[in-house]
Structure 1
Amino acid sequence: MAYASCTDEMEATSFLIMNKAMAPNRGLRCQPMSVAFTDRGQNLIPGFRLIVPTGCTVVHAAGGDDLGVSHSILISAPFSAVIPTRAILTTTAGDDLNGWVIALRSGVLGQVSQEAFGAVPKWSMSWDPFLREAVDTLGALYDADLIDAACADAFADVISAHIVLRYGHCAGAAEPDTPLTRQMLTRIQVFIHEHIAENIRVEQLAVLVHMSASNFAHVFKAATGNPPHLYVTLERVKFARTMLCEETLPLVEVGARAGFQTQQHFTDVFHRYTGVTPRAFRLAHRNVGS
Protein backbone atom coordinates (compact mmCIF):
# COMPACT_ATOMS: atom_id res chain seq x y z
CA MET A 1 0.00 0.00 0.00
CA ALA A 2 1.24 3.47 -0.63
CA TYR A 3 0.46 6.91 0.59
CA ALA A 4 0.53 10.11 -1.43
CA SER A 5 1.94 13.47 -0.36
CA CYS A 6 -0.35 15.74 1.66
CA THR A 7 -1.34 18.85 -0.33
CA ASP A 8 -4.22 21.28 -0.11
CA GLU A 9 -5.02 20.73 -3.78
CA MET A 10 -5.93 17.08 -3.28
CA GLU A 11 -9.61 16.23 -3.54
CA ALA A 12 -11.37 13.65 -1.39
CA THR A 13 -9.80 10.24 -1.71
CA SER A 14 -11.32 7.64 -3.96
CA PHE A 15 -10.30 4.01 -4.08
CA LEU A 16 -8.82 2.30 -7.09
CA ILE A 17 -9.04 -1.45 -7.45
CA MET A 18 -6.78 -2.91 -10.09
CA ASN A 19 -9.30 -4.03 -12.67
CA LYS A 20 -9.76 -3.47 -16.37
CA ALA A 21 -12.27 -0.64 -16.12
CA MET A 22 -10.62 1.87 -13.79
CA ALA A 23 -7.83 4.38 -14.37
CA PRO A 24 -4.59 3.79 -12.39
CA ASN A 25 -4.05 7.29 -10.97
CA ARG A 26 -6.91 7.86 -8.54
CA GLY A 27 -6.93 7.76 -4.77
CA LEU A 28 -6.27 4.46 -3.06
CA ARG A 29 -5.72 1.22 -4.87
CA CYS A 30 -5.23 -2.33 -3.79
CA GLN A 31 -2.89 -4.60 -5.73
CA PRO A 32 -2.01 -8.26 -5.27
CA MET A 33 1.74 -8.55 -4.69
CA SER A 34 2.32 -10.13 -8.10
CA VAL A 35 0.60 -7.20 -9.86
CA ALA A 36 2.60 -4.67 -7.85
CA PHE A 37 5.87 -6.28 -8.94
CA THR A 38 4.79 -6.13 -12.57
CA ASP A 39 3.60 -2.51 -12.24
CA ARG A 40 6.74 -1.37 -10.36
CA GLY A 41 4.79 1.64 -9.15
CA GLN A 42 5.34 3.54 -12.37
CA ASN A 43 1.70 4.66 -12.59
CA LEU A 44 1.23 5.50 -8.93
CA ILE A 45 0.82 9.02 -7.61
CA PRO A 46 3.87 10.21 -5.59
CA GLY A 47 3.72 9.11 -1.98
CA PHE A 48 3.89 5.84 -0.06
CA ARG A 49 2.95 2.21 -0.25
CA LEU A 50 1.98 -0.19 2.50
CA ILE A 51 3.60 -3.58 1.82
CA VAL A 52 1.89 -6.57 3.44
CA PRO A 53 3.46 -9.91 2.43
CA THR A 54 1.83 -13.21 3.39
CA GLY A 55 3.03 -16.81 3.49
CA CYS A 56 6.74 -17.23 2.73
CA THR A 57 7.00 -14.19 0.48
CA VAL A 58 9.95 -11.94 1.36
CA VAL A 59 10.06 -8.50 -0.21
CA HIS A 60 13.22 -6.43 -0.54
CA ALA A 61 12.51 -2.69 -0.76
CA ALA A 62 15.33 -0.32 -1.68
CA GLY A 63 15.58 3.36 -2.52
CA GLY A 64 16.40 6.79 -1.16
CA ASP A 65 14.67 9.43 0.93
CA ASP A 66 14.29 13.18 0.47
CA LEU A 67 17.70 13.74 2.07
CA GLY A 68 19.47 11.40 -0.34
CA VAL A 69 19.98 8.66 2.26
CA SER A 70 19.75 5.12 0.88
CA HIS A 71 17.48 2.58 2.54
CA SER A 72 17.17 -1.18 2.20
CA ILE A 73 14.76 -3.39 4.17
CA LEU A 74 13.49 -6.97 4.02
CA ILE A 75 9.78 -7.44 4.71
CA SER A 76 8.16 -10.78 5.53
CA ALA A 77 5.00 -11.91 7.31
CA PRO A 78 3.75 -11.00 9.81
CA PHE A 79 5.43 -7.62 9.37
CA SER A 80 4.23 -4.79 7.14
CA ALA A 81 6.15 -1.73 5.98
CA VAL A 82 5.53 1.82 4.78
CA ILE A 83 7.83 2.77 1.90
CA PRO A 84 7.94 5.56 -0.72
CA THR A 85 6.06 4.84 -3.93
CA ARG A 86 9.20 4.95 -6.07
CA ALA A 87 11.09 2.38 -3.98
CA ILE A 88 12.19 -0.67 -5.97
CA LEU A 89 10.65 -3.99 -4.93
CA THR A 90 12.40 -7.30 -5.52
CA THR A 91 12.01 -10.84 -4.19
CA THR A 92 13.68 -14.23 -4.31
CA ALA A 93 10.34 -15.99 -4.44
CA GLY A 94 10.09 -16.04 -8.23
CA ASP A 95 6.46 -16.15 -9.34
CA ASP A 96 5.18 -17.24 -5.94
CA LEU A 97 4.29 -13.77 -4.65
CA ASN A 98 1.64 -13.56 -1.94
CA GLY A 99 0.38 -10.45 -0.19
CA TRP A 100 -0.91 -6.98 -0.89
CA VAL A 101 0.33 -3.55 -1.82
CA ILE A 102 -1.92 -0.55 -1.21
CA ALA A 103 -1.48 2.97 -2.55
CA LEU A 104 -3.25 5.64 -0.52
CA ARG A 105 -4.10 9.24 -1.34
CA SER A 106 -4.09 11.49 1.73
CA GLY A 107 -6.96 13.75 0.68
CA VAL A 108 -9.34 11.43 2.51
CA LEU A 109 -8.06 12.89 5.76
CA GLY A 110 -8.86 16.17 7.44
CA GLN A 111 -6.21 18.91 7.47
CA VAL A 112 -4.97 18.14 10.99
CA SER A 113 -4.55 14.45 10.16
CA GLN A 114 -2.82 15.32 6.89
CA GLU A 115 -0.26 17.35 8.80
CA ALA A 116 0.24 14.52 11.28
CA PHE A 117 0.63 12.08 8.42
CA GLY A 118 3.82 13.88 7.45
CA ALA A 119 5.39 12.56 10.65
CA VAL A 120 4.89 8.89 9.69
CA PRO A 121 8.30 7.19 9.24
CA LYS A 122 8.72 6.58 5.51
CA TRP A 123 11.02 3.57 5.79
CA SER A 124 9.45 1.77 8.74
CA MET A 125 8.58 -1.85 9.34
CA SER A 126 6.30 -3.05 12.13
CA TRP A 127 4.13 -5.85 13.32
CA ASP A 128 0.65 -4.34 13.33
CA PRO A 129 -2.13 -6.93 13.82
CA PHE A 130 -4.86 -4.37 13.08
CA LEU A 131 -3.37 -3.41 9.72
CA ARG A 132 -2.90 -7.01 8.68
CA GLU A 133 -6.48 -7.85 9.63
CA ALA A 134 -7.77 -4.85 7.66
CA VAL A 135 -5.70 -5.82 4.64
CA ASP A 136 -6.80 -9.46 4.83
CA THR A 137 -10.42 -8.30 4.79
CA LEU A 138 -9.71 -5.91 1.94
CA GLY A 139 -8.02 -8.68 -0.02
CA ALA A 140 -10.95 -11.05 0.48
CA LEU A 141 -13.36 -8.40 -0.80
CA TYR A 142 -11.07 -7.73 -3.74
CA ASP A 143 -10.95 -11.42 -4.67
CA ALA A 144 -14.75 -11.63 -4.47
CA ASP A 145 -15.17 -8.45 -6.54
CA LEU A 146 -17.30 -6.91 -3.78
CA ILE A 147 -15.66 -3.48 -3.40
CA ASP A 148 -17.46 -0.35 -4.58
CA ALA A 149 -16.40 3.29 -4.17
CA ALA A 150 -18.06 3.73 -0.76
CA CYS A 151 -16.45 0.57 0.64
CA ALA A 152 -13.07 1.57 -0.76
CA ASP A 153 -13.21 5.05 0.76
CA ALA A 154 -14.19 3.56 4.11
CA PHE A 155 -11.09 1.36 4.07
CA ALA A 156 -8.97 4.33 3.04
CA ASP A 157 -10.32 6.32 5.98
CA VAL A 158 -9.77 3.55 8.54
CA ILE A 159 -6.28 2.63 7.36
CA SER A 160 -5.18 6.27 7.10
CA ALA A 161 -6.49 7.21 10.53
CA HIS A 162 -4.93 4.15 12.14
CA ILE A 163 -1.47 4.86 10.73
CA VAL A 164 -1.66 8.54 11.62
CA LEU A 165 -2.78 7.91 15.18
CA ARG A 166 -0.38 5.03 15.82
CA TYR A 167 2.76 6.21 14.03
CA GLY A 168 2.35 9.88 13.11
CA HIS A 169 2.28 11.47 16.52
CA CYS A 170 4.98 13.81 17.80
CA ALA A 171 5.05 13.14 21.52
CA GLY A 172 7.02 15.33 23.89
CA ALA A 173 9.22 14.41 26.82
CA ALA A 174 7.67 13.21 30.05
CA GLU A 175 8.38 14.48 33.54
CA PRO A 176 9.69 11.89 36.03
CA ASP A 177 6.35 11.12 37.72
CA THR A 178 4.02 11.70 34.78
CA PRO A 179 1.53 8.85 34.16
CA LEU A 180 1.82 7.19 30.79
CA THR A 181 -0.32 8.83 28.12
CA ARG A 182 -1.81 7.01 25.16
CA GLN A 183 0.91 8.47 22.93
CA MET A 184 3.62 7.17 25.24
CA LEU A 185 2.05 3.71 25.31
CA THR A 186 1.85 3.74 21.52
CA ARG A 187 5.53 4.64 21.28
CA ILE A 188 6.39 1.75 23.61
CA GLN A 189 4.17 -0.70 21.70
CA VAL A 190 5.71 0.28 18.37
CA PHE A 191 9.23 -0.21 19.78
CA ILE A 192 8.32 -3.65 21.15
CA HIS A 193 6.82 -4.71 17.82
CA GLU A 194 9.83 -3.47 15.85
CA HIS A 195 12.31 -5.24 18.18
CA ILE A 196 10.24 -8.29 19.12
CA ALA A 197 12.99 -10.72 18.05
CA GLU A 198 15.54 -9.02 20.28
CA ASN A 199 16.22 -8.93 24.00
CA ILE A 200 14.10 -5.98 25.20
CA ARG A 201 15.13 -4.46 28.53
CA VAL A 202 13.01 -2.31 30.82
CA GLU A 203 15.71 0.36 30.64
CA GLN A 204 15.24 0.63 26.87
CA LEU A 205 11.50 1.17 27.23
CA ALA A 206 11.97 3.72 30.01
CA VAL A 207 14.27 5.83 27.83
CA LEU A 208 11.51 6.12 25.21
CA VAL A 209 9.36 8.12 27.65
CA HIS A 210 12.21 9.82 29.53
CA MET A 211 11.73 7.98 32.81
CA SER A 212 13.89 6.01 35.17
CA ALA A 213 13.51 2.24 34.91
CA SER A 214 11.96 1.92 38.37
CA ASN A 215 9.42 4.71 37.86
CA PHE A 216 8.59 3.44 34.39
CA ALA A 217 7.90 -0.08 35.68
CA HIS A 218 5.52 1.37 38.28
CA VAL A 219 3.52 3.61 35.92
CA PHE A 220 3.53 1.00 33.15
CA LYS A 221 1.91 -1.59 35.38
CA ALA A 222 -0.62 1.00 36.54
CA ALA A 223 -1.49 1.79 32.90
CA THR A 224 -1.60 -1.74 31.47
CA GLY A 225 -2.18 -4.04 34.44
CA ASN A 226 1.03 -5.97 33.70
CA PRO A 227 4.69 -5.34 34.54
CA PRO A 228 6.85 -4.58 31.47
CA HIS A 229 8.50 -8.02 31.34
CA LEU A 230 5.18 -9.87 31.33
CA TYR A 231 3.73 -7.47 28.79
CA VAL A 232 6.63 -8.13 26.40
CA THR A 233 6.25 -11.90 26.92
CA LEU A 234 2.54 -11.74 26.08
CA GLU A 235 3.32 -9.70 22.96
CA ARG A 236 5.83 -12.40 21.92
CA VAL A 237 3.13 -15.05 22.36
CA LYS A 238 0.64 -12.95 20.36
CA PHE A 239 3.24 -12.45 17.63
CA ALA A 240 3.97 -16.20 17.53
CA ARG A 241 0.23 -16.94 17.20
CA THR A 242 0.08 -14.67 14.15
CA MET A 243 3.02 -16.47 12.51
CA LEU A 244 1.66 -19.91 13.33
CA CYS A 245 -1.50 -19.00 11.42
CA GLU A 246 0.65 -18.40 8.31
CA GLU A 247 1.25 -22.19 8.31
CA THR A 248 4.50 -22.13 6.37
CA LEU A 249 7.27 -21.12 8.78
CA PRO A 250 9.06 -23.90 10.71
CA LEU A 251 8.29 -23.85 14.43
CA VAL A 252 11.91 -23.17 15.32
CA GLU A 253 11.88 -20.06 13.11
CA VAL A 254 8.60 -18.88 14.61
CA GLY A 255 10.14 -19.06 18.07
CA ALA A 256 13.28 -17.23 17.00
CA ARG A 257 11.36 -14.45 15.24
CA ALA A 258 9.20 -13.97 18.32
CA GLY A 259 12.30 -13.51 20.50
CA PHE A 260 12.43 -16.81 22.40
CA GLN A 261 15.97 -17.96 23.11
CA THR A 262 15.39 -21.68 22.53
CA GLN A 263 12.70 -23.88 21.02
CA GLN A 264 12.01 -25.41 24.43
CA HIS A 265 11.59 -21.97 25.98
CA PHE A 266 9.18 -21.04 23.19
CA THR A 267 7.13 -24.20 23.72
CA ASP A 268 7.00 -23.79 27.51
CA VAL A 269 5.98 -20.11 27.45
CA PHE A 270 3.48 -20.55 24.62
CA HIS A 271 1.83 -23.47 26.43
CA ARG A 272 1.74 -21.54 29.70
CA TYR A 273 -0.24 -18.64 28.23
CA THR A 274 -2.37 -20.40 25.58
CA GLY A 275 -2.93 -23.84 27.08
CA VAL A 276 -1.53 -25.64 24.01
CA THR A 277 1.83 -26.17 22.39
CA PRO A 278 2.79 -24.22 19.24
CA ARG A 279 2.42 -27.39 17.15
CA ALA A 280 -1.04 -28.13 18.55
CA PHE A 281 -2.11 -24.52 17.98
CA ARG A 282 -1.05 -24.69 14.32
CA LEU A 283 -2.84 -28.01 13.75
CA ALA A 284 -6.01 -26.67 15.38
CA HIS A 285 -5.88 -23.55 13.19
CA ARG A 286 -5.50 -25.68 10.07
CA ASN A 287 -8.46 -27.82 11.04
CA VAL A 288 -10.62 -24.75 11.58
CA GLY A 289 -9.51 -23.31 8.24
CA SER A 290 -10.35 -26.51 6.39
Structure 2
Amino acid sequence: MKPATGSTSDDGVGCQPMNVALAAGGLKPVSGFRLVVPTGNTVVRAAGIDDLGTNHSISISAPFVSILPVGAQFATITDDPPNGWVIALKPGLPGQASQDACDAIPKWTRFWDPFLSETAETLNALLHADLIDAACADAFADVVSVHIAVRYGHCAGAAGPPLPLTRQRLTRIEAFVREHIAETILVEHLAVLVHMSASNFARAFKMATGTPPHLYVTLERVKFARTMLREETIPLVDVGARAGFQTQQHFTEVFHRYDGMTPRAFRLAHRSADR
Protein backbone atom coordinates (compact mmCIF):
# COMPACT_ATOMS: atom_id res chain seq x y z
CA MET A 1 0.00 0.00 0.00
CA LYS A 2 1.44 3.39 -0.96
CA PRO A 3 1.12 6.21 1.58
CA ALA A 4 -0.70 9.30 0.34
CA THR A 5 1.62 12.23 -0.09
CA GLY A 6 1.88 15.10 -2.50
CA SER A 7 1.29 18.84 -2.66
CA THR A 8 -1.30 21.39 -3.67
CA SER A 9 -1.05 25.00 -4.78
CA ASP A 10 -0.73 27.76 -2.18
CA ASP A 11 -4.39 28.77 -2.19
CA GLY A 12 -5.57 25.19 -1.82
CA VAL A 13 -6.81 24.89 -5.40
CA GLY A 14 -5.29 22.06 -7.34
CA CYS A 15 -6.00 19.46 -9.96
CA GLN A 16 -3.31 16.81 -9.90
CA PRO A 17 -2.78 13.41 -11.48
CA MET A 18 -3.05 10.66 -8.87
CA ASN A 19 0.64 9.78 -9.16
CA VAL A 20 1.61 13.41 -8.54
CA ALA A 21 -0.73 13.70 -5.55
CA LEU A 22 0.93 10.57 -4.15
CA ALA A 23 4.47 11.85 -4.72
CA ALA A 24 6.86 12.96 -1.99
CA GLY A 25 6.08 16.18 -0.13
CA GLY A 26 2.91 15.60 1.84
CA LEU A 27 -0.62 16.79 1.15
CA LYS A 28 -0.91 20.38 2.30
CA PRO A 29 -3.74 21.08 4.81
CA VAL A 30 -6.24 23.46 3.19
CA SER A 31 -9.87 24.36 3.80
CA GLY A 32 -12.61 22.63 1.86
CA PHE A 33 -12.66 19.16 0.32
CA ARG A 34 -10.80 16.97 -2.14
CA LEU A 35 -12.46 15.08 -4.94
CA VAL A 36 -10.77 11.72 -5.56
CA VAL A 37 -11.37 10.35 -9.06
CA PRO A 38 -9.64 7.01 -9.75
CA THR A 39 -9.45 5.83 -13.36
CA GLY A 40 -8.49 2.53 -14.96
CA ASN A 41 -7.93 -0.24 -12.41
CA THR A 42 -6.72 2.04 -9.61
CA VAL A 43 -8.35 1.47 -6.22
CA VAL A 44 -7.99 4.12 -3.52
CA ARG A 45 -8.60 3.44 0.16
CA ALA A 46 -9.45 6.48 2.30
CA ALA A 47 -9.82 6.78 6.05
CA GLY A 48 -10.36 9.53 8.60
CA ILE A 49 -12.54 11.04 11.30
CA ASP A 50 -15.32 13.58 10.68
CA ASP A 51 -16.20 16.61 12.83
CA LEU A 52 -18.46 14.47 15.01
CA GLY A 53 -15.68 12.01 15.82
CA THR A 54 -17.06 9.23 13.58
CA ASN A 55 -14.48 7.00 11.89
CA HIS A 56 -14.81 6.47 8.15
CA SER A 57 -13.10 4.03 5.79
CA ILE A 58 -14.01 3.44 2.14
CA SER A 59 -12.50 2.07 -1.06
CA ILE A 60 -12.99 3.96 -4.33
CA SER A 61 -12.56 2.69 -7.87
CA ALA A 62 -13.86 3.77 -11.29
CA PRO A 63 -16.52 4.70 -12.23
CA PHE A 64 -17.11 5.94 -8.67
CA VAL A 65 -15.64 9.06 -7.09
CA SER A 66 -15.59 10.38 -3.54
CA ILE A 67 -15.44 13.77 -1.85
CA LEU A 68 -13.20 13.68 1.21
CA PRO A 69 -12.29 16.23 3.88
CA VAL A 70 -8.73 17.50 3.51
CA GLY A 71 -7.73 15.72 6.71
CA ALA A 72 -8.53 12.31 5.22
CA GLN A 73 -5.65 9.91 4.60
CA PHE A 74 -5.75 8.02 1.34
CA ALA A 75 -3.57 5.55 -0.49
CA THR A 76 -3.65 3.11 -3.39
CA ILE A 77 -3.89 -0.55 -2.41
CA THR A 78 -1.71 -1.99 -5.17
CA ASP A 79 1.89 -1.42 -6.25
CA ASP A 80 0.85 -0.41 -9.77
CA PRO A 81 1.28 3.26 -10.75
CA PRO A 82 -1.96 5.01 -9.67
CA ASN A 83 -4.22 6.49 -12.34
CA GLY A 84 -6.78 9.21 -11.79
CA TRP A 85 -7.03 12.70 -10.34
CA VAL A 86 -7.13 14.45 -6.99
CA ILE A 87 -8.94 17.79 -7.15
CA ALA A 88 -9.02 20.32 -4.32
CA LEU A 89 -12.43 21.98 -4.50
CA LYS A 90 -12.22 25.76 -4.42
CA PRO A 91 -14.65 27.55 -2.06
CA GLY A 92 -16.53 30.58 -3.29
CA LEU A 93 -17.44 29.32 -6.78
CA PRO A 94 -20.08 30.40 -7.65
CA GLY A 95 -20.46 32.59 -4.58
CA GLN A 96 -22.56 31.35 -1.69
CA ALA A 97 -23.67 28.28 -3.64
CA SER A 98 -20.26 26.70 -3.12
CA GLN A 99 -20.38 27.37 0.63
CA ASP A 100 -23.83 25.80 0.86
CA ALA A 101 -22.58 22.80 -1.11
CA CYS A 102 -20.22 21.93 1.74
CA ASP A 103 -23.21 20.91 3.84
CA ALA A 104 -24.99 19.00 1.09
CA ILE A 105 -22.39 17.11 -0.94
CA PRO A 106 -22.13 13.35 -0.28
CA LYS A 107 -18.94 13.07 1.78
CA TRP A 108 -17.26 9.82 2.80
CA THR A 109 -19.16 7.72 0.29
CA ARG A 110 -18.80 6.53 -3.30
CA PHE A 111 -21.03 8.04 -5.95
CA TRP A 112 -21.21 8.05 -9.70
CA ASP A 113 -21.35 11.32 -11.61
CA PRO A 114 -21.17 11.14 -15.43
CA PHE A 115 -19.78 14.67 -15.73
CA LEU A 116 -16.92 13.96 -13.33
CA SER A 117 -16.11 10.69 -15.11
CA GLU A 118 -15.94 12.47 -18.47
CA THR A 119 -13.82 15.25 -16.94
CA ALA A 120 -11.29 12.71 -15.67
CA GLU A 121 -11.06 11.05 -19.09
CA THR A 122 -10.53 14.44 -20.73
CA LEU A 123 -7.77 15.27 -18.26
CA ASN A 124 -6.15 11.89 -18.93
CA ALA A 125 -6.18 12.52 -22.68
CA LEU A 126 -4.61 15.99 -22.25
CA LEU A 127 -1.98 14.61 -19.90
CA HIS A 128 -0.98 11.78 -22.23
CA ALA A 129 -0.73 14.24 -25.11
CA ASP A 130 1.41 16.56 -22.95
CA LEU A 131 -1.11 19.36 -23.49
CA ILE A 132 -1.81 20.29 -19.88
CA ASP A 133 0.03 22.54 -17.43
CA ALA A 134 -0.70 23.69 -13.86
CA ALA A 135 -2.86 26.64 -14.96
CA CYS A 136 -4.96 24.43 -17.25
CA ALA A 137 -5.36 21.78 -14.57
CA ASP A 138 -6.45 24.33 -11.98
CA ALA A 139 -8.96 25.76 -14.46
CA PHE A 140 -10.50 22.27 -14.55
CA ALA A 141 -10.57 22.38 -10.74
CA ASP A 142 -12.60 25.60 -10.92
CA VAL A 143 -15.08 24.02 -13.33
CA VAL A 144 -15.43 20.96 -11.10
CA SER A 145 -15.97 23.21 -8.06
CA VAL A 146 -18.82 24.98 -9.84
CA HIS A 147 -20.33 21.65 -10.89
CA ILE A 148 -20.20 20.32 -7.30
CA ALA A 149 -21.75 23.53 -5.96
CA VAL A 150 -24.58 23.63 -8.47
CA ARG A 151 -25.27 19.88 -8.50
CA TYR A 152 -25.08 19.19 -4.77
CA GLY A 153 -25.46 22.56 -3.04
CA HIS A 154 -28.56 23.55 -1.09
CA CYS A 155 -29.52 25.92 -3.89
CA ALA A 156 -29.51 23.13 -6.50
CA GLY A 157 -32.91 22.82 -8.09
CA ALA A 158 -34.42 25.48 -5.84
CA ALA A 159 -36.28 27.06 -8.72
CA GLY A 160 -38.61 25.46 -11.20
CA PRO A 161 -41.00 22.51 -11.01
CA PRO A 162 -39.68 18.94 -10.99
CA LEU A 163 -39.47 17.26 -14.37
CA PRO A 164 -41.36 13.98 -14.77
CA LEU A 165 -39.38 10.76 -14.61
CA THR A 166 -39.77 8.60 -17.70
CA ARG A 167 -40.05 4.82 -17.53
CA GLN A 168 -36.55 4.60 -18.98
CA ARG A 169 -35.15 6.77 -16.19
CA LEU A 170 -36.99 4.81 -13.52
CA THR A 171 -35.59 1.58 -14.96
CA ARG A 172 -32.08 3.02 -14.76
CA ILE A 173 -32.63 3.89 -11.10
CA GLU A 174 -34.07 0.47 -10.28
CA ALA A 175 -31.11 -1.27 -11.94
CA PHE A 176 -28.61 0.90 -10.03
CA VAL A 177 -30.28 0.13 -6.68
CA ARG A 178 -30.26 -3.62 -7.38
CA GLU A 179 -26.61 -3.57 -8.46
CA HIS A 180 -25.44 -1.53 -5.45
CA ILE A 181 -27.87 -2.76 -2.81
CA ALA A 182 -25.04 -3.67 -0.41
CA GLU A 183 -23.58 -0.15 -0.53
CA THR A 184 -24.61 3.23 0.84
CA ILE A 185 -27.12 4.74 -1.60
CA LEU A 186 -27.96 8.41 -1.18
CA VAL A 187 -30.61 10.45 -2.98
CA GLU A 188 -27.73 12.35 -4.62
CA HIS A 189 -26.46 9.10 -6.16
CA LEU A 190 -29.80 8.42 -7.80
CA ALA A 191 -30.33 12.03 -8.88
CA VAL A 192 -27.14 12.20 -10.95
CA LEU A 193 -28.22 9.09 -12.85
CA VAL A 194 -31.04 11.12 -14.39
CA HIS A 195 -29.20 14.49 -14.43
CA MET A 196 -31.39 16.13 -11.80
CA SER A 197 -30.74 17.94 -8.54
CA ALA A 198 -31.42 15.92 -5.40
CA SER A 199 -34.41 18.05 -4.38
CA ASN A 200 -36.09 17.94 -7.80
CA PHE A 201 -35.40 14.23 -8.13
CA ALA A 202 -36.92 13.42 -4.74
CA ARG A 203 -40.14 15.25 -5.66
CA ALA A 204 -40.27 13.74 -9.15
CA PHE A 205 -39.60 10.21 -7.89
CA LYS A 206 -42.38 10.40 -5.30
CA MET A 207 -44.72 11.85 -7.91
CA ALA A 208 -43.94 8.97 -10.29
CA THR A 209 -43.96 6.10 -7.80
CA GLY A 210 -45.86 7.32 -4.75
CA THR A 211 -42.82 6.48 -2.60
CA PRO A 212 -39.93 8.72 -1.47
CA PRO A 213 -36.58 7.50 -2.86
CA HIS A 214 -35.15 6.75 0.59
CA LEU A 215 -38.12 4.53 1.44
CA TYR A 216 -37.88 2.85 -1.97
CA VAL A 217 -34.25 1.88 -1.31
CA THR A 218 -35.16 0.59 2.15
CA LEU A 219 -38.00 -1.55 0.78
CA GLU A 220 -35.69 -2.95 -1.90
CA ARG A 221 -33.22 -3.91 0.83
CA VAL A 222 -35.99 -5.71 2.73
CA LYS A 223 -37.15 -7.47 -0.44
CA PHE A 224 -33.60 -8.62 -1.19
CA ALA A 225 -33.19 -9.81 2.40
CA ARG A 226 -36.38 -11.91 2.12
CA THR A 227 -34.90 -13.73 -0.87
CA MET A 228 -31.69 -14.51 0.99
CA LEU A 229 -33.51 -15.57 4.17
CA ARG A 230 -35.12 -18.37 2.17
CA GLU A 231 -31.61 -19.70 1.56
CA GLU A 232 -30.71 -21.76 4.63
CA THR A 233 -26.97 -21.60 3.92
CA ILE A 234 -26.65 -17.80 4.32
CA PRO A 235 -26.05 -16.72 7.96
CA LEU A 236 -28.36 -14.00 9.26
CA VAL A 237 -25.47 -11.60 9.82
CA ASP A 238 -24.44 -11.98 6.18
CA VAL A 239 -28.01 -11.41 4.98
CA GLY A 240 -28.12 -8.01 6.65
CA ALA A 241 -24.72 -6.96 5.32
CA ARG A 242 -25.46 -8.10 1.77
CA ALA A 243 -28.74 -6.18 1.84
CA GLY A 244 -26.92 -2.99 2.79
CA PHE A 245 -27.82 -2.64 6.47
CA GLN A 246 -25.04 -1.12 8.55
CA THR A 247 -25.59 -3.27 11.65
CA GLN A 248 -27.46 -6.45 12.51
CA GLN A 249 -29.64 -4.52 14.98
CA HIS A 250 -30.65 -2.03 12.29
CA PHE A 251 -31.43 -4.90 9.92
CA THR A 252 -33.64 -6.59 12.53
CA GLU A 253 -35.48 -3.36 13.39
CA VAL A 254 -36.18 -2.38 9.78
CA PHE A 255 -37.17 -5.90 8.70
CA HIS A 256 -39.57 -6.21 11.66
CA ARG A 257 -41.07 -2.80 10.88
CA TYR A 258 -42.03 -3.77 7.33
CA ASP A 259 -42.59 -7.53 7.66
CA GLY A 260 -44.04 -7.76 11.16
CA MET A 261 -41.46 -10.32 12.29
CA THR A 262 -37.72 -10.59 12.83
CA PRO A 263 -35.45 -12.04 10.13
CA ARG A 264 -34.95 -15.18 12.25
CA ALA A 265 -38.71 -15.63 12.68
CA PHE A 266 -39.21 -15.13 8.93
CA ARG A 267 -36.66 -17.84 8.18
CA LEU A 268 -38.24 -20.25 10.67
CA ALA A 269 -41.72 -19.56 9.29
CA HIS A 270 -40.53 -20.14 5.74
CA ARG A 271 -38.81 -23.37 6.81
CA SER A 272 -42.04 -24.60 8.44
CA ALA A 273 -44.11 -23.69 5.40
CA ASP A 274 -41.87 -25.77 3.14
CA ARG A 275 -42.35 -28.88 5.21
Q: 1:90 to 1:134 in 2, by over 3 A?
A: same
Mapped to 1, the partners of 2:127 and 2:109 lie a distance apart of 26
- Over residues 208-235 of structure 1, what are the superposed CA-to-partner deviations in whole Å (9 max), with x where a residue is unaligned? 837896x423899xxxxxxx9xxxxxxx
> Which one of the candidate residues 208, 212, 231 is aligned to 1:216?
208
CA distance in 2, matches of 1:160, 1:195: 27
Does the C-alpha gap of structure 1 residues 150 and 129 become closer, same or farther in structure 2, counting only changes over 3 Å? same
Question: Which of residues 78, 88, 109 is equivalent to 2:73?
Answer: 88
Cα distance change of structure 1 residues 212 and 84 upon mapping to structure 2, 3 Å threshold: closer
Number of residue pairs the alignment of both structures matches? 185
1:93-172 pair list within 5 angstroms? 93-107=78-92, 109-119=93-103, 120-147=105-132, 151-152=136-137, 154-169=139-154
Residue identity matched to 1:92: I
Residue 21 (structure 2) pairs with residue 26 (structure 1) = no
Q: Within the alignment, does 1:38 sit opposite 2:30 as a pair?
A: no
CA contact (8 A) 1:126 1:194 kept: no
In the alignment, which of 189, 193, 197 is matched to residue 179 of structure 2?
Answer: 197
Instruction: Classify the secondary structure of the residue corresponding to 1:125.
Output: coil
Q: 1:55 to 1:148 in 2, by over 3 A?
A: closer
Partner SS, residue 179 of structure 2: coil
- Equivalent-residue separation in structure 2 for 1:44 and 1:179 (angstroms): 41
What is the identity, as a one-letter code, of the residue corresponding to 1:118?
Answer: C
Alignment of 1:48-63 (within 5 A): 48-63=33-48
Coordinate RMSD, CA, aligned: 4.3
Structure number with larger C-alpha Rg: 2
Amino acid at match of 2:50: D
Aligned mates of 2:27, 2:172 — CA distance in 1: 31
How far 1:150 moved relative to its partner? 6.1
Report percent identity of matched pairs: 47
Q: 1:192 to 1:27 in 2, by over 3 A?
A: farther
Give the whole-Å Cα distance in 2 for the aligned partners of 1:189 and 1:33. Answer: 34
Going from structure 1 to structure 2, the CA distance change for 1:116 and 1:159 (only over 3 Å counts) comes to same
Q: By how many angstroms is 1:38 displaced?
A: 3.2
One-letter code aligned to 1:114: S
Contact 1:33/1:53 (8 A) holds in 2: yes
SS at match of 2:208: helix
CA distance in 2, matches of 1:55, 1:149: 23
Displacement of 1:29 in angstroms is: 1.8
- When structure 1 is superposed on structure 2, of 83-92 and 32-41 the one drifting more is 32-41
Q: How far has the Cα of 1:46 moved from its partner?
A: 3.0
CA deviation string 1:91-149 (max 9, x = no partner):
32113322211123224x13222332222232232111110111221233234443357
CA 1:62/1:124 → structure 2, altered by over 3 Å: closer, same or farther?
Answer: same
Q: Unaligned regions of 5+ residues in structure 2, if any? A: 1-5, 165-169, 191-200, 217-275
